[in-house]
């Protein structure tokens, strides 16, 4: 599986790498035995009549159909002069027990959930290592500053140093609590634990209580790169995960996205409208 790229995204990746030098001592350790994180689970090839026997999440497949059953427009420079590209991903069921992110990652890698919470434990190890935590906190603060600047520096959004520390403690506590929902920054750290990119596809907005009005943008969809890792310790192929947004006040849900055997060769780096996914 290869990431099919366009120049604007390549430029974003270059900037991300330059902004985040590989300096973390713990993250550079091989937290997962060499080779295990390189796996990518694929479904067997089946016809429409036997698809019902696969452990698919049909609700997620329906909601994200335009993103996971994807072909680029024929006028795109990416496909001009080349054979047509086609991507078909399938969302598998993942437990909604508060550990859906590690379950989704585990299913994408090996075809089974993180039932013994091994991946969640590795995530906790990274946050509990003081030097690693300091580096991650610095990266997270810069991201919060970027979000604030993108919003126009509104006083209602800008956080004080104390508020940043309080929210960071909440991020750390979420890792320690097996049933606590994990955030986009935890996806970023997971990319470092695996030493490979994670592409998250999902709805771009969290909806209001009536589930009909877009309330706030979702910060989840994007390309998560292990930019704190040395390149020679990373895998170039990505895994794909879906994130479906709920109504305001409720946690969303992560699902693994996998292809059928020998049929998936590309992952789109754009949404259903052709807009570049953000590099995180």
Q: Which of 103, 186, 192, 253 is catalytic?
A: 253
Q: How far apart are CA 195 and CA 211, in angstroms?
A: 36
Q: What is the DSSP string of 133-185?
A: HHHHHHHHHHHHHHHHHHTT--TTT---HHHHHHHHHHHHHHHHSTTSPP-HH
Q: For residue 127, how many other CB atoms are within 10 A of its CB?
A: 21
Q: How far apart are CA 268 and CA 263, in angstroms?
A: 14
Residue whose entry in the numeric block shows the structure tokens 């089974």? 112
Q: How far apart are CA 122 and CA 126, in angstroms?
A: 7
Residue 200, beta-bridge partner list: 222, 241
Taken in order 103, 63, 1, 225, is the CA torsion positive or negative? negative
DSSP 8-state code for residue 161 = H
How many Å separate Cα 251 from the centre of its chain? 16
Q: For residue 276, how many other CB atoms are within 10 A of its CB?
A: 15
Active site residue 97: yes
Q: Which of 11, 97, 112, 230 is catalytic?
A: 97
Active site residue 181: no
Q: How far apart are CA 105 and CA 114, in angstroms?
A: 8
Active site residue 192: no
Catalytic residues: 97, 100, 253
């Amino acid at each position: 599986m290869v990431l099919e790229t366009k120049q604007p995204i390549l430029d974003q990746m270059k900037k991300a790498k330059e902004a985040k030098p590989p300096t973390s001592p713990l993250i550079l350790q091989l937290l997962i035995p060499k080779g295990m994180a390189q796996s990518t689970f694929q479904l067997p090839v089946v016809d429409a009549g036997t698809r019902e026997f696969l452990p698919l999440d049909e609700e997620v497949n329906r909601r994200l159909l335009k993103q996971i059953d994807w072909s680029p427009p024929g006028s795109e420079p990416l496909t001009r002069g080349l054979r047509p590209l086609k991507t078909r991903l399938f969302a598998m069921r993942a437990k909604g027990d508060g550990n859906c992110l590690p379950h989704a990652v585990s299913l994408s890698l090996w075809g089974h959930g993180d039932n013994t919470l091994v991946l969640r434990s590795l995530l906790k190890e990274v946050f509990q290592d003081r030097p690693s935590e300091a580096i991650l906190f610095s990266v997270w603060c810069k991201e919060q500053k970027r979000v604030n600047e993108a919003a126009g520096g509104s006083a209602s959004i800008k956080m004080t140093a104390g508020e940043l520390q309080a929210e960071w403690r909440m991020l750390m506590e979420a890792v320690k609590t097996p049933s606590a929902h994990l955030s986009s920054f935890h996806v970023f750290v997971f990319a470092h634990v695996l030493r490979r990119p994670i592409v998250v596809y999902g709805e771009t907005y969290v909806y209001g209580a009536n589930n009909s009005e877009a309330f706030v943008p979702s910060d989840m969809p994007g390309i998560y790169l292990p930019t704190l890792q040395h390149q020679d310790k990373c895998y170039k192929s990505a895994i794909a995960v879906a994130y479906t947004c709920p109504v305001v006040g409720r946690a969303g849900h992560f699902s693994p996205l996998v292809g059928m055997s020998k049929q998936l060769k590309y992952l789109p780096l754009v949404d259903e409208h052709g807009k570049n996914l953000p590099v995180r």
